[in-house]
């Protein structure tokens, strides 16, 4: 699901609530982070999306810019969040083109299914480096802009580490670190006027994570307390709230958007793929 101009007709937010602001998004060409960026742009912000794949990042930047007349979306392609110097170059480009950075979404992530016995140390560290180190590097590189503009950071976390989810050891460990990172930053950077929060999506329809983790989507939906799958718009709406003036006193929180799913341990309730690595996952692990 992607957003279009009808979002403005159906959302509760004032148009141009983010006029004059700039959001810097790692993973901006991905499913969830793209829609987060679209919502911010439709509500007046300009944006920079950061990604490794040039063709995809450039294309998504053009598509998001077309959502609002006068919007400017900068493509920071060929950027590796594991390298703080690489992100620093993306920040320089963003400030050069857009003049500032007010909001940061740290959403770059890596994931694949792997049981512990088949998960190599290199594969484990690869995910931790993208998700956790990449999140740290993102804030490190944008810090001066955030301090100057009393900005806000939003980390894209998960609920996987709230209970034991098989085949997701690497991701659960990385996201637990992201939550801890955000909490510490909220305390350290709060006196500078910088807010830091996490958003933790649950089962979101149309995302690669759901496709990999859930084999029976109808059964999964019935087990969600709110009786429906989440949408990327649900994540976008929560993102707008956490960046909006309505959340000016909200920092150091983990904002779970999952319809109540984690309370019943949904992903450990019989919806997981069986203990067998697909050929694709085996090839990924071999490369790592």
pLDDT digits (tens, 9 = 90+) for 59-71: 999 999 999 999 9
181: in domain = yes
Residue 245 gets which letter from DSSP?
G
Instruction: Give the model confidence (pLDDT) of 255-288 as tens digits.
Output: 999 999 888 877 665 444 443 444 455 455 555 5
The CA distance from 153 to 146, in Å, is 8
In a domain, 2, yes or no: no
Structural domain count, the chain: 1
User: Does any domain span residue 158?
Assistant: yes
Q: Residue 148 is part of a domain; what is its CATH number?
A: 3.40.50.720
Looking at residue 222, what is its pLDDT? 82
Is 127 within 8 Å of 174 (Cβ atoms)? yes
The answer to whether residue 1 sits within a structural domain is: no
- Report the pLDDT averaged over residues 172-181: 98
Q: Higher pLDDT residue, 269 or 3?
A: 3
Q: What pLDDT is attached to residue 230?
A: 84
CA 175 to chain centroid, in Å, comes to 11
Can you tell me the mean pLDDT for 102-110?
Answer: 96
Mean pLDDT of 126-148: 98
Between residues 124 and 213, the one the model is more confident about: 124
- pLDDT value of residue 273: 47
- pLDDT per residue over 12-63, tens digit each? 999 999 999 999 999 999 989 999 999 999 999 999 999 999 999 999 999 9
Give the number of other CB atoms < 10 A from CB of residue 264.
Answer: 13
Q: Which residues are catalytic?
A: 157, 175
Q: What is the pTM of this model?
A: 0.91
Query: How many CA atoms, within 13 angstroms, populate the side-chain half-sphere of residue 186?
Result: 18
**Spatial distance between the Cα atoms of 150 and 163, rounded to a whole number of angstroms:** 35
The span from the CA of 93 to the CA of 76, in Å, is: 7
By the 8 A CB rule, do 241 and 247 touch? yes
pLDDT at 57: 97
Give me the domain span that covers residue 88: 7-287
Mean pLDDT of the chain: 90
Cα(33)–Cα(148) distance, integer angstroms:
24
Residue 114 within any structural domain of the chain: yes
Quote the tokens at residue 157.
């976390």
Adjacent-strand bridge partners of 50: 26, 76
Q: What is the DSSP code (8-state) at residue 166?
A: T
pLDDT of residue 272: 47
């Amino acid at each position: 699901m992607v957003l279009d101009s009808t979002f403005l007709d159906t959302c509760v937010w004032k148009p141009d609530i983010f006029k004059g602001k700039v959001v810097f998004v790692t993973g901006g060409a991905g499913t969830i982070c793209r829609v987060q960026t679209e919502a911010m742009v439709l509500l007046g912000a300009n944006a920079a999306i950061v990604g490794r794949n040039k063709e995809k990042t450039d294309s998504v930047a053009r598509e998001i810019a077309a959502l609002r007349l006068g919007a400017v979306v900068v493509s920071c392609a060929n950027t590796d969040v594991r390298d703080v110097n690489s992100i620093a170059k993306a920040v320089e480009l963003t400030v050069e083109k857009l003049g500032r950075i007010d909001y940061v979404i740290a959403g770059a992530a890596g994931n694949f299914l792997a049981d512990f016995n088949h998960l190599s140390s290199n594969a484990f560290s690869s995910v931790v480096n993208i998700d956790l180190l990449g999140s740290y590097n993102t804030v490190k590189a944008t810090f001066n802009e955030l301090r100057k503009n009393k900005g806000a950071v939003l980390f894209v976390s998960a609920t996987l580490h709230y209970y034991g989810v098989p085949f997701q050891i690497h991701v659960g460990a990385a996201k637990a670190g992201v939550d801890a990172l955000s909490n510490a930053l909220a305390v350290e950077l709060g006196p500078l006027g910088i807010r830091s929060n996490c958003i933790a999506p649950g089962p979101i329809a149309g995302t690669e994570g759901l496709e990999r983790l859930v084999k029976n989507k109808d059964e999964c939906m019935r087990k969600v307390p709110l009786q429906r799958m989440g949408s990327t718009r649900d994540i976008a709406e929560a993102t707008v709230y956490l960046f909006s003036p309505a959340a000016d006193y909200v920092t150091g929180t983990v904002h779970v958007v999952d319809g109540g799913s984690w309370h019943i341990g949904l992903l450990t309730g019989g919806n997981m793929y069986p203990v067998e690595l697909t050929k694709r996952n085996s090839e990924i692990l071999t490369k790592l």
